[in-house]
Structure 1
């Protein structure tokens, strides 16, 4: 049977993480810069371990006011330090709980900036490698970030989004657009089914765009995230895929 990773961003103090965890295989946990806290990180790590869900760090700009979703100018050196610091913070909780960090996935604006900017992408990939070269780097499918990870020899997950709209160049529709997010489960499920069955997504402007999907992402901060997680899991399994996290290197 074909397999696919199904991941969700957690530990952001929105919704009920415990209700989402039974349906996913990987979680990216906020590291305190855009959301979360030391206690939230500790508690979310414990929940992931209890549900057998792979744990990832979700580093971001230091911007709680905007939930890390506003782009800020940042040098490659600062991006490296910002990323390494947050990976280390979460990994402390993971190691203390007797588990192993699985992946790193930048959050929000940092994620989208790194998808376009080779310098930032290289810096983030270097931070991941320097912390632990066996970590999986999650990045927007076909982006500068996944290319940077592959160039450094990291295992990379090309990520596709269940409930975000796409542009014709396979980038995510900016959140400034009113239709940047898909609001209903049937539409999101149809998008995921198309990604899995055809390897394509329909852009906001109507084009059919090829898209590699190693992992499907659901945003955990939406109020209906648990219902989406359950419905999307059904969609993935009906398409003939087993939900499994990507195995990290030893």
Structure 2
């Protein structure tokens, strides 16, 4: 009898993958994933059957993974964590009698936060600025409420050629509730080739430095800079 692992492979480097994720891939006979993600773990795929597709074929990948898992051990992979903008939800919606195990991974906001310092030490939230699945008006409402609630905010899918102004508009929403000197971190290609770290403020934020391979983390009202790193205090008395 087969099994399906839904694997979060982490930010992209093999050294940042959890042991459990690596073991799931090693055990699997078949690996299913987006072409770009398959390349990130190709060193682990020798001798395995691989089913890969391009962008916007998530349903096809999940359907194929479930079919193959009826009599084979299969892993379907997502970068970061499979349950955060990954394949876990879709697989669980579609599954019937198949045996499924969700394997967590290091999500992009956590990888970026580690490189920036400790910006997520207090209450925080993640918001995707992609409107492929969520209406932009709803995205802006969530940004407004998160800003009003003084959450540290991590933006996934922050800026693309098709929606170059969303990030600036959302930053302007946040500026209504935060001081101009609030720290903002940009991390491109966190923990993989091409890594770049930029720390700015709400006032000086330059959205042109952000792309789809970036994470943007905006501090809350207490976030501060020390030795060029972002720190959000938890509230301990020193």
Q: Determine if the TM-score, normalized by the shorter chain, exceeds 0.5.
A: no
Higher helix share: 1
| CA radius of gyration, larger in | 2
Higher strand share: 2
Q: What TM-score results when the alignment is normalised by the length of structure 1? A: 0.30
